[in-house]
Amino acid sequence: MPERALAAPQPRHRDADPQGAALRDRPEEAARGARRAHRREEGNRFRQPDPHLHVPSLSTGEGPSHQRRGWERRGGHGRRYRRLRPCLADDEQGSAGVSGLDDGNELIRQRLAKLESLRGRGVDPFGGRYPVTHWAGRLRERLESASEDELKTIGPVSVAGRLVAVRHHGKTCFANLQDMTGRIQLYARADQLGDDFGTFTELDVGDFIGVTGEVFRTRTGELTVAVKSFTFLAKALRPLPEKWHGLKDVETRYRQRYVDLVVNPDARAIFLLRSRLVNALRAFLDARGFFEVETPMMQPVPGGAIARPFKTYHNALDMDLYLRIAPELYLKRLLVGGLDRVYEINRNFRNEGVSTQHNPEFTMLEFYQAYADYTDLMELTEELFTHLAESLRGRLTLTWGEHEIDLRRPWKRLPFFTGLSQALGATITPETDTAAVVRAAAAHGMTLDPGAPASKLWKDVFDERVEPTLVQPTFVINFPVELSPLAKKSRDNPALVDRFELFIGRRELANAYSELNDPIDQLGRFRDQAALQARGDDEAHWLDTDYVRALEYGMPPAAGEGIGVDRLVMLFADQPSIREVILFPHLRPEAGT
């Protein structure tokens, strides 16, 4: 289970970008607008984006408040919330409606006029089913090297998608149609379409259409569909962002991911990679005899991690429930039940901070293997990552920022206290006096709380001074028992546990350990955590008596591991922020919502 999210200040109500104004019928302008529409949007490239959707970019030091861990805080500056300013004048804001569409915008007004014009001619701007025979991108790939004679044998094709470019040339018109696989060029002629050519010339960038025609190659070598017939499938009433600059404002990209996916090919590529990565995870585990399961998302006792949960209430059962912070304890109950190899890929929820590495809702892979220990999982993890690299990238080296990550085995092993000792230039062990740790840290420019427990001091030093050095794949092993309430103690040193965390590119990607299966030891550790909870630690592990009862029936020796899927995608997509790899990350609410 990757490092928990850090608590951050709660968002303030209405700290968000504005919505646009309401869509209103303007029939009196329809005829005049239709005449203007062709002239205003002709020759299209992408046009100016809807100004009411623009969110002013934040200058350095502004933006959401993220509490940062250790090394991330060093050299940083204070951050504060910025109230996003509406781009509407005060007297215009009253016209904003649920739809967010503002007919005061000239480009939107033109499109509304076209909409009314189409309906007036009996054309349905929002069509229904369309029989697609080919994907645009795949058709282009398949026929890219085909000869002219081969193209003539293809016959009619039907493609559908969004128009992303329209270029008028008198009695001919070129357009680019895009679907999820890519783009293909369209070519329409007045003598081929007849009266429908006028309707074709009223198409705007962003409109969805279906097209049937023959495939040919232009004089410039571009594979093209000659339009024989077309159907309106959806009229776009908002203009897309301008072609050459795309959608650059980060806040708007995350909030309106649907637009981001249309205009930013890199965004689409990330989420296609994510889908392939999740499929590869499943294939790897399925091939090794693991059984995929689903465990409760709402739990009476939140467990399996040290984190603050989201709380809800079940009316029919008259009881509090919690969105799960981890599936661990339920997966280990399945080991008790005789399912020796299980895994789950699903969401976890932690009511904590938001940062470049943390989102309150995130995707985790957890898997458990009976009759194994944490050393077996280190080997399995190396195999898994090399499998992903070869499947997704075709090589064992990855680019991460300015670094090249080398995934060739074996990976480095670093004992936890060895890392602390190297960072502080002094020998640190589980028996080292806390005052000595504070002094050693002070000698290296760190200020620690002398009244804090030893486990917190160790963790603070690790976060700030050890973690930022772990660029190449490194298993940090031999954690102190105080930081691992569910892990089995080491046979060589009872002050340590058989656990590792995997770090790559200064990020924790995986956490694994030999599972504690002694119910008496487990109950004692739960009680220690309960004492911390009673003293006000709202991230202490909860006492789960049913889980202890399950252990009393006997759980085989086992090892378990959690891998953050979002961070894994960040690694393979070379992305610095978790929001770039989550389709709809959590944001402050928009004004008026």
Is the pLDDT reported for residue 581 higher than 80? yes
Q: What pLDDT score was predicted for residue 102?
A: 62
Is the pLDDT reported for residue 69 higher than 80? no
pLDDT band, residue 590 (cuts 50/70/90): confident
Structure tokens at 137: 């991108």
Out of 453, 470, 487, a domain closes at 470
**Within a domain: residue 259?**
no
Structure tokens at 99: 């739809």
Same domain flag for 429 and 297: no
Same domain flag for 398 and 374: yes
Give per-residue pLDDT as tens, 160-213.
Answer: 999 999 999 999 999 999 999 999 999 999 999 999 999 999 999 999 999 999
C-beta of residue 513 within 8 angstroms of C-beta of residue 562: no
Same domain flag for 337 and 396: yes
Same domain flag for 282 and 401: yes
Considering only residues 249 and 576, tell me which one the structure prediction assigns the higher pLDDT.
Answer: 576
C-beta of residue 175 within 8 angstroms of C-beta of residue 166: yes
Q: What pLDDT score was predicted for residue 247?
A: 67
- What's the CA gap between 90 and 105, in Å, rounded? 16
| Range of the structural domain that residue 34 is part of | 27-124
Give per-residue pLDDT as tens, 471-507.
Answer: 999 999 999 998 988 899 999 999 999 999 999 999 9
pLDDT mean over 463-476: 97
**Within a domain: residue 367?**
yes
Same domain flag for 497 and 463: no
**Within a domain: residue 418?**
yes
Query: What is the DSSP secondary-structure string of 401-468?
Result: TTEEEE-PSSPEEEEHHHHHHHHHTS---TTS-HHHHHHHHHTTT----TTS-HHHHHHHHIIIIIGG
Place of tokens 């781009």: 87
**Within a domain: residue 250?**
no
One-letter amino acid at 432 equals T
Q: In what order do the strands lie in the sheet with 311-314?
A: 298-299, 319-323, 311-314
Out of 470, 496, 512, a domain closes at 470
**Within a domain: residue 129?**
no
**Within a domain: residue 248?**
no
Pairing of strands 157-169, 496-504: unpaired
CATH number, domain with residue 388: 3.30.930.10
pLDDT band, residue 266 (cuts 50/70/90): very high
CA angle 309, 311, 317 (to 5 degrees): 135
- What's the CA gap between 567 and 589, in Å, rounded? 25
Is the pLDDT reported for residue 64 higher than 50? no
Is the pLDDT reported for residue 514 higher than 90? yes
One-letter amino acid at 430 equals P
Give per-residue pLDDT as tens, 270-295.
Answer: 999 999 999 999 999 999 999 999 99
Name, of 105-109, 112-116, 301-305, the range with top average pLDDT: 112-116
**Within a domain: residue 109?**
yes
The mean pLDDT of the chain is: 84
**Within a domain: residue 405?**
yes
Out of 124, 158, 185, a domain closes at 124
Same domain flag for 431 and 517: no
Number of domains in the chain: 4
DSSP 277: H
C-beta of residue 7 within 8 angstroms of C-beta of residue 353: yes
pLDDT band, residue 305 (cuts 50/70/90): confident
CATH number, domain with residue 164: 2.40.50.140
Same domain flag for 503 and 458: no
Same domain flag for 459 and 554: no
C-beta of residue 247 within 8 angstroms of C-beta of residue 263: yes
Same domain flag for 276 and 381: yes
Same domain flag for 166 and 296: no
Query: What is the DSSP secondary-structure string of 520-540?
Result: HHHHHHHHHHHHHHHTT-TTS
Same domain flag for 447 and 559: no
Same domain flag for 460 and 483: no
